[in-house]
Structure formats: structure tokens, C-alpha cells
């Protein structure tokens, strides 16, 4: 099956063709580790995790690189020139690397809880200063950068004479130059739209490295250019990230690659949209974000309860990755109930008895859901199809539909592949472990006693057992041929 993906560069869906089949290089912009991972971080992580899993399922050999930005970016406010990570470190009286380490671990923990696969390589910007300096040298040598007071700036205007700065973001650079030039007479930069490749460090700036030009630190956009091509070659297949990175971050990456090597490094640019809260972007700068920990613990004023990582995942997958997704407590509650319905069906599926013939067409699930996923990761359609089959599985369980042994086998494998392998939903409470451990055996025992009480029409006893279990958080579901239960 062909995979199509929406390429931001061409603004349309394209059939995905790897440069070096069967190898695929995937690079995704990771977090800047100076704060707790929040709901916004979950979106690209989950989106590109699905892509990673899907590519592997399509039998590609995928190298997935996601960076950790631990050098920090320049502040834009009064603390101009000071590194974000350095600033936080000074306030907390900690080493910058201590901060970076702490939040890297927290990020990893959250990503693991969301059941996203770890990238093949997770390079740190601080570990690639040399590569970044080499890249700057190349750009300087090709004449697309200049030194100014120990700092190196990218000469956008000069670059634009030969190439097209703005091709990714659709920005008209001539307008930007003419409208902003006059304001920046005093600046080190020749032009306000020039961006830093290397910044000379102020004395108080504690994250610093030597370079041919000054003691300083690399510019904002350099690390991704340097690390992506180091590990994936040039050109490589897919570069992903949040839509808010299109300009300037990714636009600058293109310019850097072209200025250094005369050609673009990336074939397909993919961007996930933002999560909004009350219709507004959820973000660090707006102070309206919810951390993943707060979500998992229900510890936030907008939340009435805690939500499991898988609930968050389903919530995100129910929207297409290129649409904004509006967060609300109500929407999460809906996702939670849907998830439990989905998992209940997954459990039921293990108990269905085959019949002589099938009244259902099991191929439909795979065809519709897999086709949807291969169509620019249309997870909402895939999930809609899966939920159609949740209903069918329930009907099969009640004997309202029938299925042959062979079809049942196909259905189990298809359902599990889609839900668990590709969408990466994980149910820690799934039957196997639950029903073999002590708690599971005790539940069997208790519920058999209740069944006996029911058979004797001793409803007082059976209701007491059910009510007491409910107080412990266990829901009992009576069935024709016995019982089921879930926590």
C-alpha cells in the first residue's frame, strides 16, 4: 500500500517514496529541556510515533532521530542574549546541565507513559557543538554569512538573491526586509531578518564553547541542520515538528543546508497542528499549558479528575494531526469512556467462540483502517472504523453475529495490530496478566459465589457483593453465560 503524506513544502499530499529504499530517515524536533513536558509536547510525539510505527509496518527500515535541545535559545525579552537554560539554572542555583538532565528524564518518563517508542537516536545539541561549528564554516566559506563582533550571522538577503528564503513558510522576504530595515541601524546584524549562527557570549552567559570567532554558543536553528544530516545523511526523507516551528526554525534550516551544500536536506516536511485551550494555543509563553503530570494526576484547576496516558493518547488520535485540537475536561471524559469501551472489546475478543460460518466481513476492518492511516495518518477515520468493529465484536460476543475460526483469527490479529502495534495504545490491565494473578483468581472466586447466590435467588447477597466491589472500584458486568469485570 502507498503511504501518502502532506508535505508542507508543496502544500499537498504526496506519495511517499524513500530516497534509499528500504531505508527511511525521520527527524523530528524534540523538546527544549527547561520545563516539564506538557500536553503540547504529547502531540508531535504521538503523531510521529504513529508514523514511525506505520513506516516500520510498511517494512521500511527506519532511523528515527529526535533531538534534545539542551543548549537553549536566546531570550527575546529584557534578558537578551541570555540562554534560557542558563537563566533557569542561575535562578535555581543549579548547573545548566543539571536542569537539562532533570527535564530530559521527565520528558522520557512522560513519553514512556504515553507508550511512544524511543527514537533510534536522541542527539543532544550540546554534544554536537563541533558539527555546528563546521556547518558555520561551510556557510561562511560559501559567502552566505558574515562575522560581526565575534558573532556570525546568516546573510538572508544575499542568500535570497540566489535562492528562495521563505519557500516553506510562504513568507515574502522582500516585504520583511523593506518593512523592518530602518529599525535596526545599531544592530550587529546587517539586516533585521538575518539570524544568528554563532553568538558571542556575554560574561554572565554560562553555557559557552570556544569557536574560531569567539567564546559563545550556536544559534537557534543550527543544531537540527547539523544533527539531522549527521545521522540521516543528505538528503534525508522526512522532517517533522510542530507547525509553530515552520517559521523561522525550519525555514532557517532549509537556508542553512542550501547555503552550506547547495541543496536542500529534506524531502518531506510534516507539521502537526497545535492543541488549543479555549480556542487559544496552549503554550509556555501564554502560561495556559497543562503538564502531562498534572493530567495524569488530575492536579489542575481545569480538571475534575486524573486521566490515564492512554486517554490522552486516544484524545489526540481522535483528531487529525493537521487540525487544531481543542482541549477540555469534557472532551477528555468522552475519550476516557471511549477508551474503556475499546479495551472492553479487546478483552471480549479473546473469549469469542467461533461458528460454522461468518456473518461479518473481517477484511473490512483492515482495509478501511489501514487505508486511512496510510492516507496522511488519518487516525480519526481509522478509529471510527475500529469503533464500528467494537460494536461488531460486542454483537459476536452476544451471538447476534457469527464468525468462523479462520475469520476470528484474522480479526484478532487485525484488531490487535491496529490498536496496539500501530496506534500504540496499550492496556496494562488486559486480560492475560489480570486474570492470572492473585487478584484475578480472587475475583473469579468471589464472582462465582455471587453467581451461586443469584442462582439461589439470594439477590441480597449478590447485590451486596456487587455493591461492595463497586466501592473498591470494580465494575461487575453480568453476562448470559457468566460474568465479566473491570477495574
Binders of RNA in range 118-177 (CB under 7 A): 169-172, 175-176
Tally of CB atoms within 10 A around 142 = 14
* Min separation Cβ 476 and RNA, Å: 6
Is 73 exposed, middle or buried (CB count within 10 Å of its CB: 0-12, 13-18, 19+)?
middle
The interaxial angle of helices 405-416 and 363-374, nearest 10 deg, is: 20
Binding flag, residue 323, RNA (CB under 7 A):
yes
Binding flag, residue 284, RNA (CB under 7 A):
yes
Helix, strand, coil shares, percent, the chain, to 5: 50, 15, 35
Choose between 335 and 346: whose C-beta lies nearer to RNA. 335
* Min separation Cβ 376 and RNA, Å: 8
Which candidate, 231, 224, 260, places its Cα nearest to that of 245? 224
User: In the window 419-458, what residues touch RNA (CB under 7 A)?
Assistant: 454
**The three grid cell numbers given for residue 392, joined into one nine-digit string:** 461488531
Selected from 100, 168, 232, 325, the binder of RNA by CB under 7 A is: 325
Binding flag, residue 291, RNA (CB under 7 A):
no
Distance CA 340, CA 311 (A): 9
Binding flag, residue 330, RNA (CB under 7 A):
yes
User: In the window 20-59, what residues touch RNA (CB under 7 A)?
Assistant: 29-32, 39-41, 43-44
* Min separation Cβ 239 and RNA, Å: 12
Distance CA 221, CA 233 (A): 18
User: In the window 176-235, what residues touch RNA (CB under 7 A)?
Assistant: 176, 220
Binding flag, residue 468, RNA (CB under 7 A):
no
Selected from 174, 428, 463, 468, the binder of RNA by CB under 7 A is: 463
* Min separation Cβ 30 and RNA, Å: 7
Selected from 185, 203, 279, 473, the binder of RNA by CB under 7 A is: 279
**The three grid cell numbers given for residue 217, joined into one nine-digit string:** 554558543
Whether residue 316 is preceded by a cis peptide bond, meaning omega within 30 degrees of 0, is: no
Selected from 229, 272, 308, 311, the binder of RNA by CB under 7 A is: 272
Which candidate, 75, 89, 32, places its Cα nearest to that of 207? 89
Choose between 98 and 467: whose C-beta lies nearer to RNA. 467
Binding flag, residue 312, RNA (CB under 7 A):
no
**The three grid cell numbers given for residue 344, joined into one nine-digit string:** 472492553
Choose between 18 and 44: whose C-beta lies nearer to RNA. 44
**Distances 254 to 189, 370, 429 between C-alpha atoms, Å:** 20, 33, 46
Listed ranges 135-143, 208-216, 261-269, 271-279: which one lies at the site for RNA (CB under 7 A): 271-279
Beta-strand ranges (E) seen in 151-195 are 151-154
Amino acid at each position: 500500500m502507498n503511504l501518502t503524506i502532506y508535505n508542507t513544502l508543496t502544500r499537498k499530499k504526496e506519495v511517499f517514496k524513500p530516497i534509499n529504499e528500504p531505508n527511511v530517515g525521520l527527524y523530528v524536533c524534540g523538546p527544549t529541556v527547561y520545563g516539564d513536558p506538557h500536553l503540547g509536547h504529547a502531540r508531535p510525539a504521538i503523531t510521529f510515533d504513529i508514523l514511525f510505527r506505520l513506516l516500520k509496518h510498511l517494512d521500511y527500515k527506519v532511523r528515527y532521530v529526535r533531538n534534545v535541545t539542551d543548549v537553549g535559545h536566546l531570550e527575546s525579552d529584557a534578558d537578551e542574549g541570555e540562554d534560557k537554560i542558563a537563566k533557569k539554572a542561575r535562578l535555581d542555583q543549579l548547573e545548566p546541565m543539571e536542569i537539562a538532565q532533570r527535564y530530559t528524564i521527565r520528558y522520557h518518563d512522560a513519553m514512556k507513559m504515553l507508550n511512544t517508542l524511543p527514537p533510534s537516536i536522541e542527539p543532544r545539541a550540546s554534544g554536537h557543538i563541533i558539527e555546528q561549528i563546521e556547518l558555520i564554516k561551510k556557510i561562511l566559506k560559501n559567502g552566505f554569512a558574515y562575522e560581526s563582533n565575534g558573532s556570525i550571522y546568516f546573510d538572508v538577503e544575499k542568500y535570497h538573491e540566489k535562492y528562495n528564503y521563505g519557500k516553506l513558510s510562504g513568507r515574502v522576504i522582500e516585504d520583511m526586509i523593506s518593512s523592518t530595515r530602518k529599525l535596526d541601524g545599531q544592530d550587529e546584524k546587517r539586516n533585521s531578518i538575518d539570524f544568528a549562527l554563532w553568538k558571542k557570549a556575554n560574561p554572565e552567559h554560562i553555557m559557552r564553547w570556544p569557536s574560531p570567532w569567539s567564546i559563545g554558543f550556536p544559534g537557534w536553528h543550527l543544531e537540527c541542520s547539523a544533527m539531522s544530516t549527521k545521522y540521516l545523511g543528505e538528503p534525508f526523507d522526512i522532517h517533522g515538528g510542530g507547525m509553530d516551528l515552520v517559521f523561522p526554525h525550519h525555514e532557517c534550516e532549509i537556508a542553512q543546508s542550501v547555503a552550506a551544500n547547495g541543496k536542500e536536506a529534506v524531502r518531506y516536511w510534516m507539521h502537526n497542528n497545535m492543541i488549543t485551550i479555549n480556542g487559544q494555543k496552549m503554550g509556555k509563553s501564554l502560561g495556559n499549558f497543562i503538564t502531562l503530570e498534572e493530567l495524569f494526576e488530575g492536579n489542575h484547576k481545569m480538571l475534575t479528575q486524573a486521566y490515564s496516558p492512554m486517554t490522552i493518547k486516544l484524545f489526540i488520535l481522535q483528531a487529525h494531526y493537521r487540525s487544531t485540537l481543542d482541549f477540555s475536561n469534557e472532551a477528555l471524559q468522552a475519550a476516557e469512556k471511549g477508551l474503556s469501551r475499546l479495551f472492553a472489546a479487546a478483552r471480549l475478543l479473546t473469549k469469542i467462540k467461533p461458528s460454522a460460518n461468518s456473518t461479518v466481513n473481517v477484511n473490512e476492518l483492515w482495509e478501511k483502517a489501514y487505508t486511512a492511516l496510510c492516507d496522511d495518518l488519518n487516525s480519526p477515520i481509522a478509529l471510527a472504523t475500529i469503533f464500528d468493529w467494537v460494536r461488531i465484536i460486542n454483537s459476536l460476543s452476544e451471538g447476534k453475529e457469527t464468525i468462523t475460526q479462520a475469520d476470528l483469527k484474522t480479526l484478532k490479529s487485525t484488531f490487535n495490530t491496529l490498536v496496539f502495534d500501530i496506534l500504540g495504545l496499550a492496556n496494562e490491565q488486559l486480560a492475560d496478566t489480570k486474570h492470572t494473578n492473585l487478584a484475578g483468581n480472587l475475583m473469579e472466586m468471589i464472582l462465582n459465589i455471587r453467581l451461586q447466590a443469584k442462582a439461589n435467588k439470594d439477590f441480597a447477597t449478590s447485590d451486596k457483593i456487587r455493591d461492595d466491589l463497586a466501592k473498591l472500584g470494580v465494575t461487575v458486568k453480568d453476562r448470559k453465560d457468566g460474568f465479566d469485570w473491570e477495574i
